[in-house]
Amino acid sequence: MYIPDIELHEPATLDEAAATLTRHAPDARLLAGGTDLLVDLKTGRASFRHLVSINGINGLQDISKTRNGLRIGALTTATQITASPIIRERYVPLLDAATKMAAQQIRNVATIGGNIAAAVPCADLPPILTAMNASVTLWSAGGERDVPLDAFFVGPRQTVLRTDEVLTAIHIPKPPPGFGAAYARFQLRDGNTIAVAAVAAGILLGNDGVVKNARIVLGAVAPIPKLVPAAGAALTGHRLDDAIDRAATIAMMAAEPICDVRGSADFRRDIVGVMTRRAIETARDRAAGSRKEAD
């Protein structure tokens, strides 16, 4: 396998990047960490003649608190996420996914923006970010727009991102007291394997221990990170011990797994049930902990 002949462009600003994309569309792609894109080029899954690197553009690699929560620049790597004091203090669920992504060498260069924009069904960060009600900022010369992550994906490797747009940042709302989230994945072995099945859960508990709101998101078992409203609704208004089995069953029924070398569709569907319970239970423990801290 080899990378075919391509022309690399290295714009210094977002305006230059957008102009380059427009000039060479549809034969151009953005380059961040390249951990997915370069593999696609080598294997022939993707074919284009122009790469537009955004690595030289300032302001796209940072993690900062905002008035309403957290902003993560699109070029922030998985390693930077795992090392961030802000995330370790207030946004621990992100570590569930960021620490499990591939091998350390990949995490050193793989970016959060690329993990999202590539829209690969087995990507680790989109499910937990969706469970945490994250949104993305899409920049173009005509202005910015914010898109909830649960509305960003439209199919495998397909998103609402226009050819003249650049994903510049991810925004996560500040978790309210009583909120907890978690990501659980199953892989065939430790190391750089991709998920066979994964589930993210976001739970908001009331003072009485009853679930006020819940989001269950499936990964690697559907064409896109799949939010399952019915599973969240099964938890809402109930204590988790009374509703967790029902939510897990609904999540299993909502899964759309395929058969491949990593496992059969039936095996993956069963794993979804196990991962759903694990994610919900961990999210519940974190929600209870945040409630105690608030009190």
- The pLDDT, as a whole number, for residue 286 is 96
- The pLDDT, as a whole number, for residue 294 is 60
What's the distance, Cα to Cα, between the start and end of the chain in Å?
58
Amino acid at 86: I
Task: Report which of 214, 53, 52, 192 is spatially closest to residue 133, judged by C-alpha positions.
Answer: 214
- The pLDDT, as a whole number, for residue 292 is 62
If you classify domain 7-53 with CATH, what class do you get?
alpha beta
Q: Residue 144 region, left (φ>0) first, then alpha (ψ -120 to 50), else beta?
A: beta
Here the tokens at position 70 are: 């957290």
Residue 210 pLDDT greater than 90, yes or no: yes
Of 86-90, 138-142, 192-196, 235-239, where does mean pLDDT reach its minimum?
192-196
CATH 3.30.465.10 fits 63-173, yes or no: yes
Task: Report which of 103, 114, 109 is spatially closest to residue 77, judged by C-alpha positions.
Answer: 109
Maximum CA extent, the chain: 62
- The pLDDT, as a whole number, for residue 167 is 97
pTM (2 d.p.): 0.94
Q: Where are the domains of the chain?
A: 7-53, 63-173, 179-294
Structure confidence at residue 293 as a pLDDT band (50, 70, 90): low
Considering the chain, what percentage of its residues have pLDDT values greater than 70? 96
Residue 190 pLDDT greater than 70, yes or no: no
Residue carrying the six token digits 């990378």 = 3
If you classify domain 179-294 with CATH, what class do you get?
alpha beta
Of 46-60, 64-78, 239-253, where does mean pLDDT reach its minimum?
46-60
Residue 83 pLDDT greater than 60, yes or no: yes
Mean pLDDT of 130-135: 98
- The pLDDT, as a whole number, for residue 137 is 98
Whether the Cβ atoms of residue 118 and residue 110 lie closer than 8 Å to each other = no
